[in-house]
Structure 1
Amino acid sequence: MRTNMVLRSVGVVVGLVLIACAFVLAYVITPNYVVRLPDDTDAKRSYTGTFRTLLDAQEVAKGSLATAVKRNVPLAVERTVKVEETSGNTALVSDSRTTTAAGNPVEKTDWKYAVNRKTLEPSGSHPAGWTVVDAQGLTVSWPLGAKKKTYTGWRPETGTTTPLTYARTENRSSLSTYVYEANLPPTRITDPQVLAGLPPAVPRTTLALVAQLGTLSAAAKEQLAALLPTLSDPVPLSYTLASADTFWIEPETGSVIDTRRSQQRVAGVIAPSNGAFLPLLPVSDVFYQQTPESVKDAADDADDGHDAIMLVGTILPIVVGVVGALLVAAALLIRRRRPRGTPTPDPDA
């Protein structure tokens, strides 16, 4: 009898503990430690496309406008998003990109962000030793559990934000994805890394040729001709970026499955009198998208993330909960044995 009582008690306690563990797995461990940016994130993505136009900085510096503009140059971009460190629910993420034109390096950038590992929004709660961009909005990816809504996206080249607008749902690489679109109007480029790869100034005589022979409108040529005498020599250049981008996002993991970009950079001068930007020359007009291999890699990563969330958040809690419930039920069914020789009570007595 004592053995049965012990077994009943142990069975009930162990069963209840397992049921409690199932709830902890589903409602504590999964949302707080599984549904967030993994600390081993190291996503490498490749993109290919075309420089429909590309301004050769060396030819511009020589004043040779006739040979400065290249057309239909093959483009490639290599991008790596990597978690460098973590501190609780905050991650230090690097976003490095290398752009080449016909195999020749054109631009290399490396931005670092402190982000909340679940929302992917910038986090001010990070170690003092981290040197990060003071960004706003989404920087490297979408939040886990992305919604059909408009998010705010960060543009590191311009140090500004742009809406990331939900447009539709589409299948991409056998996954159901949310499609977001972003449109950036011509905005001044301010990032030092990007500006380092662009001509900082041109001789005033070169701009005089632009005023005479360039493709500017008659009104812009007249404005430039009037502006030239007020400018220093060489003339400092400023740049704008405009873009139309499309992103395919797997919503549960926030993974970027595919990307398509169309971007234009334009060189111009700033009028000393009012600070207005006068566009002069197209620096680059590019179109590129993720390679099929990178789309597949992104889809595989999203599948792995989905499987991890499903395992810890659904499958294990169900298995552990069911085993716990069966233990409790089995323990309650254990009957007490009567000692030998104990008469059975007479119900009529």
Structure 2
Amino acid sequence: MHEYAFQARGLVKRFGRTTALAGVDLAARPGSVLGVLGPNGAGKTTAIRVLSTLARPDEGTATVGGFDVVRRAADARRLIGLTGQSSMVDDELSGRANLVLLGQLLDLRRSEARARADQLLARFGLSEDAARPASTYSGGMRRRLDLAASLVGRPSVVFLDEPSVGLDPGRREDLWGMVRTLTDEGTTVLLTTQYLEEADALADRIAVIDRGRVIAEGTPAELKRVVGGQAVSLRTADPDRTGRAARIMERVAGRPPENTRHVLSVPVGGDADAWEVADALREEGIAVTEFSLHLPSLDEVFHALTGTAPSTGTDNDDDIGTGTDDDTDAAKEHTA
């Protein structure tokens, strides 16, 4: 068995004058989840497209299961399941027909393809709607069908690009359970997400990408320690004093706090900083209804590393490159 289920080293990808990847290194061991975080336009989707053989890197190398994604692309694709940001299902076919067709394209006998389709439809809560055309599915149902489609071939490596978009909280929890089941069975997952709690809940390791470069990498706990051992959070009794409290926190911490529904939070060096904030608030006569010292959240890590608040939208950093002939040809091979 290879040490890494997939590995990218020094990936560079340009689209005209735009450099989407500027020397990216990524790797995950078998049966683990690598979470990839970054603001919109950071290069997350481009990295997935290179690793899944849908785009050729301008520089660097990438392997899946030990197969080079350029020189041994066909072998690498046999190991890969991919759920992208855009739906790849056929609107005119039913949910079951979509999965059966994919199974047959993957050389399953028709009876095996039907059995696999029914199994996945049940796992994703789509059995009752299996006979309906995909065009009649809601956004969340289409997303679940996309996820099911990526698993038809029982891939050993699954790339999930913003998989939770369009899912309600209950279905998101179901997805998390399925990802955990996959890794328990030995599948390796690369997950890009804008839901920071999702990365915290699922990822064994996290890579933060910004402007086409990996700017931080480690376990969730390690990343939280990188930006500050702890964080101070508070809510002022008088919302009009929130701005003044924020300036105090910025002076002590050296960076502006996050403001989420009037709760201010900022990473600090330790309890001495927390006491300094508390003393300054008392001197200013700013009363608080909440005050805590805790490990920073991944939201705070994300903001501290990138200077950008996490978005709930999709990462469109690769729209600039999806029209190239090379990418189109690779996409046809991947789906066939």
Which TM-score tier does this pair reach, normalised by the shorter chain?
under 0.3
- The structure having more radius of gyration, on CA atoms, is 1
Q: Larger strand proportion, structure 1 or 2?
A: 1
Larger helix proportion of the pair: 2
TM-score, normalised to structure 2, is: 0.23
TM-score (normalizing by structure 1): 0.22
